[in-house]
Amino acid sequence: MIGITKANVATLVGALALALAWGQAGLAEEAEASGKFEFVVENGRVDASTMRGWEVYTGSCMACHGPDGLGSSFAPSLLRAAERRSFEDFAISIAEGLSFRPGMVMPSFADDPRVMSHVVDIWNYLGARVEGGLPRGRPRLLEENGDTQGSE
């Protein structure tokens, strides 16, 4: 587990500030304060934050952590990590990167605005997979009025 240092806090504050700047003020503050996932899953359909989390995860995380966050031969399961880590530790790991052991190094995403502006969304997607019964694959979006769309 990561020790909280002044550098870690500064990185987290920077990550949260970026999330705030990109319009996730309430989400970032809520995730930091509660450490809980905030998602809606109804009949395999998800809220907008969870959908964005899946999109960013697929574009930036899946190559190493595998489909749906289950891990690979060289990167751990993010589902297990999300179960046992706080949002703060999760955000710091994304911003600073991690070195697990030789050959297992997660790069820093601090300079990637697409990832850093959607840390909360990625957290919520992983939470929906861990706690919300979200199945494998591409989720479908709930309609804006809150009703689910008809089956396809």
Q: Residue 91: which CATH number?
A: 1.10.760.10
Domain membership flag for residue 144: no
Structurally, the chain folds into a number of domains equal to 1
Q: Which residue has the higher pLDDT, 99 or 45?
A: 45
Q: What is the pLDDT of residue 68?
A: 84
Across 70-79, 116-125, 134-143, which has the greatest mean pLDDT?
Answer: 116-125
145 belongs to a structural domain:
no
Coil, strand or helix: which one is 11?
Answer: helix
How far apart are the C-alpha atoms of 148 and 26, rounded to whole Å?
25
Q: Which residue has the higher pLDDT, 30 or 143?
A: 143
- The answer to whether residue 85 sits within a structural domain is yes
Q: Is residue 146 part of a domain?
A: no
Q: Determine the Cα angle at 45 with ends 36 and 121, to 5°.
A: 40
Among 43-57, 92-106, 129-143, the range of highest mean pLDDT: 43-57
User: Does the residue 31 lie in any domain?
Assistant: yes
Structural domain contains residue 60? yes
Domain holding 71, by residue range, is 6-137
Torsions phi, psi of 40, nearest 5?
-130, 130
